[in-house]
Structure 1
Amino acid sequence: MPIAVVGVLVLGYGMLWVRPSPAVHLIGVCTVGLLLAACGVWWPRLRRFVPAVALLAAAASVVATVLVRVAYPGGQPETPGATGVWLLVESGALTLTVYLVVRWSGGVAGGFAAVAPALATALAWQRFALAGTVIEAAAVSAVWLVPAVGAAVAGAYLRWLAFGRRRAVADARREQRLDLANDLHDFVAHDISEIVAQAQAGRFVFGADRPELAKLLERIEIAGVRALGSMDRTLALLRDPGEAARAPVGGVDDLAELIARFNAGGGPQAALDLRIARPVPRESGAVVHRAVTEALTNVRRHAPTAATVSIVVSEVDGSLELRIEDDGRGAPKQAARDSSGLGLAGMAERAESLGGSCRAGPREPSGWRIVLVLPLQDRSISEGVAP
């Protein structure tokens, strides 16, 4: 907004004290300047109107060109200094308009809206009596198309990068949701399978003496099997066609194998220290396994100078504590090592969903630390619900 205000003030000063000759040159530059200033003040609310802004700016510039050629049928014979400066400002403003349209507008309408100010920039230089043939005059206009083409390329490149970032974030979110769905399938399927097994056992043990109980247990068994099938079909729908089934969810007992694979790849070496004797609930174990996987992946990507990674799983005040530290050399207050913006956030969400917490940040004198705290007691038991 301050830049827009300063631009309007400079434009007003030029209109009063440094006017071009003839003054109709100001039609195009003033229109483009005011439109860009409005976009700067009310951005991003006016972003969807950028194509209209581009068309209005191009129309004003073409009108100024036509009026100058009417006043000077053969073109303005000379280029006074002030007039040339105003024309350069107009060309720059139209080029900026091309960039804005390509960067923030899409579709066929955006394409046409970007072409209009580019052509207006090329035609603006036809206001002057250009020496030479028609082909040479057209070549001059073509040269002034180069900045507009460059602005369009820059806008298209930044638009492509933004699209790639959005797609990467969407893919990462989908991957995370699919992981959570896979976890849900594994955990709930285990419990439902246990219910089915107990119903089958009860039917065979008590069914001979109590037929009505046998029928009830049979209905429970059938409902459980049906629930397992529904879960399998739902998870299959979440996967893309041809996508392989996910590997079973890992736990604390699988950390040694995970770290061995990490160390076999060379580079930083991870050391695991298990200081916990109590059984770890499946949900907490899965979160620990995924947290270690995410942390080791981030070490590979963002801590190339790290030599060692320490992974400690211990019991602290009745809770499971996972502490992951590396010795990456660098400023202690470096940016968070999370390429997608979802890994650490997803880790924290999973921990909080189980009643735990997650902290991550730089450590002294160098490196990175992640501390994950999770409950060691199954939530269904702690809440008084039968497992």
Structure 2
Amino acid sequence: MGETTTAATPLLNLVLGGVPVLAAAATVVWSLAGHRTTAHTRLARPSAACALLSLTTTVTLTTDSNSYWKLAEAALLLLLIAAVTRWSPVREVRIAVPLAALAVATWPLPLIDGGFLERTGAASFWLIPALTAAAVGAYPRRVDQRRRAAVSEARRAQRLQLSRDLHDFVAHDVSGIVVQAQAARFVAATDPGQAVLALERIEKAGLNALEAMDRTVRMLDSDQEASGAECLPPGVTQLAALVDDFTAAGSTEAHLHLPPETADALIHAREAGAAAYRIVVEALTNIRRHAPEALRAEVRFTATLAGVELQVTNDAPRASPDRRSTVLRRHGGLGLPALTEHAEALGGTLTAGPHEGGWRLTAILPCKPPSQRSRSDLHDQRTRPDPHPPGR
């Protein structure tokens, strides 16, 4: 009877030693066969259970007869370490991965007949593949996190650009609509003809705002194969119409000073020309909203060694603001800080502040004058059709 018990003990140890291997194999098969969002993200707890089983058998049952089981078990645990590191939530990774790494590092210790140094060396040796498996799982996780962060940042930049476009272009037209509507209300009873003219200007400003919104939507619509000309923002060629519309829409008389050579430089420097248009739109919109009583505004372009200097100046407003100006001044915008960043990104500057009782905005936009461009560049630019012909 004693001999039967002695013979059964190694067999029992061998069978019990295979339990962690079967558990780890079942976990690996479940993760491969299950759905990614369920099996992969819920892999940490079964892996931790397998690691605890492995540690238990390492302490109690490891003999020379079941060392092959432990080797297979270590290989399966390495697969689980990589998978858990790749897919599981971080809070679960912090528990399951160290347990599995400890199980892999300590499985050969009961088989070593040596001192502390020998056992420490063996554990360190087997810890290397555990760390490697964790690195294999962590690398694609990090790449995926960086990709999601890049997508999130791109979406944020797109939303910010959309808000800036709406502020730069639509707010200008909407402010004109408000001014014209207020003017029509005051003159409707005494001069119906002027009210009709105001309504025509309101219609034109509304159509311009709709066009700006349509252009912004086309820029965001990735499925629509629009040509590059359709998506380009307005530029220098629209400045004259912009200033004329501003003068017609309110009581402030605006004047544009744009020498032909400076206009040519801005037309060919497309980014600088678009930035100049947006800066003028923002400056005129701020005059309309914050100084509607100003009598005169001046938009002046001057060629400099650094590029082109743009100044938008309005004189001091009249002393008695009326009710309409109060309505327009209630809320400010964030256009100037955004345009300042845009000008600096192009290598220029933008400043604004009080000037002789009024306000002055000054922007320096670097652009290469025509004499410094190559003949091929000039030929390409001149033969390319202008997507934005002059308004008037």
Larger radius of gyration: 2
Using structure 1 for the length normalisation, give the TM-score: 0.49
Using structure 2 for the length normalisation, give the TM-score: 0.48
Ranked by relative contact order (alpha carbons within 8 Å, sequence separation 6 or more), the top structure is 2
Which structure features the higher share of helix residues?
2
